[in-house]
Homo-oligomer: A and B are copies of this chain.
Amino acid sequence: MDWNSAFATQMNRVKASEIRERAKTIDLSAVIQLGGGLPDRAILPHPLVQSVCDTILKTDGEAALQYAPSEGYGPLREWLAAYVTKTEFPCSPDNILITNGSQQALDLIGRVFLDVGDQVVLDAPTFIGAIRAFDLTGADYADIGSDFNQPNEDSLKNSSLGYFQADFSNPGGTCYSEKERTLLSDLVNRYSLPIIEDACYTPLRYEGEPLPSIQAINVAQNGGIDNSLVFRTGTFSKTIAPSLRVGWIIGPKEAIRKITLVKQACDLSTGKLAQMIAHSIASQHFDSQCEKAVATYKPRCAAMLKALREHMPDGVSWTKPEGGFYIWLTLPDLIDSKDLANRSLTEAQVSIISGHAFFPGDGGAKYARLSFSLEPEEKGTEAIKRLSALIRSM
């Protein structure tokens, strides 16, 4: 059987990551990991999950093992709605769909809005998982342009969906200013363009003051969430545990209802036991989980920025994130980032990700992403020393 000829057309785009494939041939135990976006093992609350899980199974065991509603476990949707209402704007459980992590949120929204050949407007470099999800629908891409005062109007006019990250973007590590958020919300209204605001890293702020979400601005402009055009996606993967696979979409009720029916056709529902665990931990310990994560990652971010300042040769620049997991390197013109990522892994035993992955088309040759989430300060510093020496030698 020639499988490639049997697969649907857009499956041609679906390829294994070169980085991942290459990493499989390396003894990773010796490698300093600045590649992936994993949370640190130390912040995973396994004793808490254990005690919460025990209580759930003792007091509500049969219900915990049965099917969940497709829209999600009721008390978890209620908790999220109350949290948004308390901190931002009036929100009801009908505005919330629980998903398998925020990756599924991107996939579901993509499926609901994108026919083959439809265009997604985004702000490259952007999250590789979003590109991969939209690729499955056969979408095309356009860039909004870096100045929201003078955006690429055609890219907005001809798009069926937008995808943006306002806080601590992956891979850029940057935030939109309040002015940029307002401009973006204005543009969304002008073009009646539904957009995703991926708020995956929002709780992980290490410096500066929180800014209003694009969604909150859009909700205020349009007189309520049900008239808004913004779908905000979130997850407990960075604040409780990735293995629960509990994420969500917050958006206008009518569209959430349609996305829920698509979720039902995709996998019926997100696991109920996992949702009950997430609800129990979030409702009692969300703030302390966030504090623990911030206490872990903030010094790692600071140490890596310090090491970059001390060791990187001239001609290399980088972003100074106020939160999240990532620093984005800009390389001198003579260095190709695929070549650098390759040699960094094999010669310096440091995994980093070449910038290519974060652009839907060409681009990325002069960029690389460094993650500071997984390695303690001294290892992160050592990795930057080695990487700096390698760049110098190139």
List the interface of chain A (C-beta within 8 A of B): 1, 3, 6-11, 14-16, 38-39, 41, 44-47, 49-50, 53-54, 57-58, 61-62, 64-68, 99-101, 103-104, 107, 111-116, 118, 129, 132-133, 135-137, 160, 192, 194, 227, 229, 237, 241-245, 252, 254-255, 257-258, 261-262, 264-274
A65 touches B50 (CB 8 A): no
Chain A binding surface SS class: helix
Complex partner residue of A112 from B7, B65, B192, CB under 8 angstroms: B7
CB pair B57–A261 under 8 Å, yes or no, is no
Check A267 against B104 for contact (C-beta < 8 Å): yes
Closest to A242 in B: B67
Q: Is the CB of A132 within 8 A of B264?
A: yes
Closest Cβ of chain B: how far from A151's Cβ, in Å?
20
Residues from chain B with Cβ under 8 Å of A6 in the complex: 113, 160, 192, 194, 255
* Contact A64 to B272, CB < 8 A, known contacts A129-B265, A132-B264: no
Given contacts A41-B62, A99-B267, A103-B268, 16 further A-B contacts (CB under 8 A): A6-B194, A8-B114, A9-B115, A14-B258, A15-B261, A38-B66, A41-B66, A50-B58, A64-B243, A68-B243, A103-B266, A104-B267, A133-B266, A243-B274, A245-B268, A267-B267
**Which B residues lie within 8 Å of A135 (CB)?**
265
Task: Give min CB distance, A149 to chain B, whole Å.
Answer: 25
CB distance from A319 to the nearest CB of B (A): 25
For A252, give its contact among B1, B11, B267 (CB under 8 Å): B1
Q: In the complex, are the beta carbons of B244 and A271 less than 8 A apart?
A: yes
User: Quick check: A258 and B11 within 8 Å, CB to CB?
Assistant: yes
- A323 and B176 CA atoms in complex are apart in Å by 58
Question: A101 contacts B47, CB within 8 Å?
Answer: no
CA distance A135 to B133 in the complex (A): 18
Shortest A330–chain B CB gap in Å is 28
| Contact indicator B262/A11 (Cβ below 8 Å) | yes
- Residues from chain B with Cβ under 8 Å of A227 in the complex: 1
B14 in contact with A242 (CB, 8 Å): no
* A101 cross-chain contacts in B, Cβ below 8 A: 267-268
Residue among B3, B67, B115 making CB contact with A243, cutoff 8 Å: B67
**Which of B8, B118, B265 makes the CB contact (< 8 A) with A8?**
B118
* A57/B50 in contact, CB under 8 A: yes
Most buried by B among A194, A242, A267: A267
Determine how close the nearest CB of chain B comes to the CB of A118; give it in whole angstroms: 7
